[in-house]
Amino acid sequence: MRSLFEASSIAVVGASQKEGKIGHIIVRNLIGSGYRGSLYPVNPRSAEVLGLKCYPDLASIPGEVEMVVVVVPGTAVPQVMEEAGEKGAKVAVVISAGFRETGREGAELERRVGEIARRHGLRVLGPNCMGVISTSNSMNATFTNDYPREGPVAISSQSGAICSVVLDWARATRIGFSKFISVGNKLDIDEADLLGYLKDDEQTAVIGLYIEGMSKGQEF
């Protein structure tokens, strides 16, 4: 869980040169938030993204990769997860949609992604999520236009719409956040995992959760 909020290196698979593309926005947000770790855009069709050298795949990156942000079509996610596991990544933030929320085929695809992640010991946030913000790590690994000020409140939401509303409210009221997490389909990481980490987080004094369903009630 530490790698989700304090990753020292991040690869964005599906990074894009095109403004408006999610893969472009996430790289831009990581740069704009002042992320101090190593940042690696990955796209076999680009030489660079926003001034950063772009790599054709994860294996081509010369250094270690602690977090992988996945912004490719859903059907391509299993291959990326295999590459992430082989690279030794600790956590994957799967922004991509097209999984359980779309029906039976999507649910099967999500199951495959989960099997690959477990085999490699890779923790997963998402899929079908907005990403994660950690202001203490100057890390905005989301596609939102709102980067909150630093503060003592940690927020997790299963709803992307609620995420957007809370960030709008925070900007207007000048409330600051330590962590901001969009959990999406909760293939792996859920509220119980987040509470286990956030309860001991020195930057967090208040934890707010928007929950639509719970699969690990006793742990929670």
pLDDT tens per residue across span 10-43:
999 999 999 999 999 999 999 999 999 999 999 9
Query: Which residues neighbour 24 within 8 Å (Cβ) at sequence distance 6 or greater?
Result: 15, 16, 17, 18, 49, 50
For the chain, the average pLDDT equals 96
Cβ pair 112, 75 in contact under 8 A: no
Predicted TM-score (pTM) of this structure: 0.96
State mean pLDDT over 99-109: 96
CA dihedral (119, 125, 128, 129) in degrees, to 10, reads -170
Cβ pair 192, 219 in contact under 8 A: yes
State mean pLDDT over 129-135: 97
Q: What is the helix, strand, coil percentage profile of the chain, to 5?
A: 35, 25, 40
Structure tokens at 18: 């095109």
| Residue of 194, 74, 30 lying closest to 11 (CA atoms) | 30
| Residue of 178, 78, 181 lying closest to 130 (CA atoms) | 181
